[in-house]
Amino acid sequence: MTETLETATAPLQAPQAPATAPKPLWRTFLVFLAPMMAANVLQSLSGTINNVFLGHMIGVEALAAATVFFPMLFFFIAFVMGLGTGASILIGQAYGKGDHDRVRAIAGATLALSLVFGVVIAIFGGIYASELMIALQTPPDIVVEATKYARIMMITMPAFFVFLLATSILRGVGDAITPLWTLAFSTFVGLIVTPAFIAGWFGLPKLGVAAAAVASLVSLAAALAWLCWYLLRNKHPLAPTPALLSRIRLDPKVLGLVLRLGVPTGVQMVIMAVAELALLGLANGYGSHATAAYGAINQILAYVQFPAMSIGIAASILGAQAIGAGRSHQLWAITRTALVLNAIITGMGVLVVYLLSGAIVSMFITDAPVMELTQHLLHIVLWSTVVFGMAVVFSSMMRSSGTVLAPTAIGIFAIIAVEVPVAVYLSGAIGIDGVWWAYPAAFSAMFVLQGSFYTFVWRKKAIRALV
């Protein structure tokens, strides 16, 4: 980890002259990781807060009811993340050229498409929430509460999509601070309004499990209002001025470019979401306790995976910079450093969770039998997060050169041909444990296949800049 990167260390900025004493490569990675990990933590914290409040203030059945909606939410996020990926690349290029009008055109078209998608989900979900919950084999004792929660959450989707895209687009112009402040504000509001709606504080109605969904809408609306004010006050290039608002329309030419870059990411995430729905259906078959355990474990794993995902993003950024500067010979040094950092940082996170698993699980669940089940299942899957991080590094490095289809196909194969079949087979053979052994199986397959393609195919290719 002694290599250096001879380019500017700030992502999405114009190239600068090499420094006289370049930073060690591992330091450059850490500079990227800090804001990304902080943003990821805040992004997930609101959901965690909701689950903690539901589990402690109402009970395990309320947590299970909210958990049923999690894979569906992930499914919707996949579409927005695909849009955000494509838009951020294009916005970064336009902003680097100083073409603010083009930046607004890309942002406006992407926001328009997300709003259309969000409204469709809101209408469909408002009408068919009950049928969706039944189709997911929701345990009978929580189906009514799960339906209430899901209906409100789907009605919230237009605001949620705008919120996610706004933070993604801002990063496209090199602004990582405003998304952090926005996420922090949303989380702060959620800390106040979620228990208020659960307990009926300040004269508010007691909403039960629906309180978390209503609080999510309130916090999103408040954060978006604050974001608009902040951008206008600071005359930000993406402030909601008439110049931007007039661009919020479906522009086929712009959206064609966005979708071409973002669809592969979105497709893989959609397939992951479908697989999660299948695994949730298997877990639901073991009752509401298994459903609650599923939700708590996914919340915990999300935090453990943050370093792995952030390291992958950093590797992709540094790889793209090296390719653009004509220094493709540095790509293996970047890859090697990312793999080592993943082993250290993600590995330390996994170790901490193993050592403190009882205390961590108790943050979500207070029922002793459910706590014991959750800890047991968590121990099965937790270690494989490190393996997952290694696979992410390989796929991210290949994506930095524009090689998208192969990493996407490998990821989809691991989900469809390994994760789901293993879960179905092992759950029938050994019970609920089998559902969770499917994750290590899929992550291991991803690691072997991504690493093999990287080593024997991608590294032998002539890597050239796309722009």
Would the pTM count as exceeding 0.85? no
What's at 218, amino acid-wise? V
Q: Using N-to-C axis directions, what is the helix angle for 25-57 and 210-233, rounded to 10°?
A: 140
pLDDT at 168 exceeding the cut of 50: yes
3-state secondary structure of 369: helix
Residues in the chain: 467
CA distance 234 to 177: 13
User: Do the Cβ atoms of 381 and 432 come closer than 8 Å?
Assistant: no
Q: How far apart are CA 179 and CA 185, in angstroms?
A: 10
Highest mean pLDDT among 9-18, 142-151, 438-447 belongs to 438-447
- Alpha-carbon torsion 273, 279, 285, 288, what sign? negative
How would residue 387 be classed by pLDDT, with cut points 50, 70 and 90? very high
CA distances from 350 to 387, 389, 404 (A): 11, 12, 29
Report H helices in 97-173.
100-135, 143-155, 157-172
Reported confidence tier of residue 1, pLDDT bands at 50, 70, 90: very low
The answer to whether 316 touches 400, Cβ cutoff 8 Å, is yes
Torsion of CA 349, 353, 354, 355, to 10 degrees: 100
Residues 6+ apart with CB under 8 A from 179: 39, 166, 167, 170, 171
Q: How confident is the model at residue 186 (pLDDT cuts 50, 70, 90)?
A: confident
Candidates 458, 438, 445, 348; CA nearest to 388 is 445
Percent of the chain with pLDDT over 90: 20
Please state the φ and ψ torsions of residue 239, each to the nearest 5 degrees. -65, 145
The 10s digit of each residue's pLDDT in 270-320 is 777 677 777 878 888 888 788 888 888 888 888 888 888 878 877 776 776
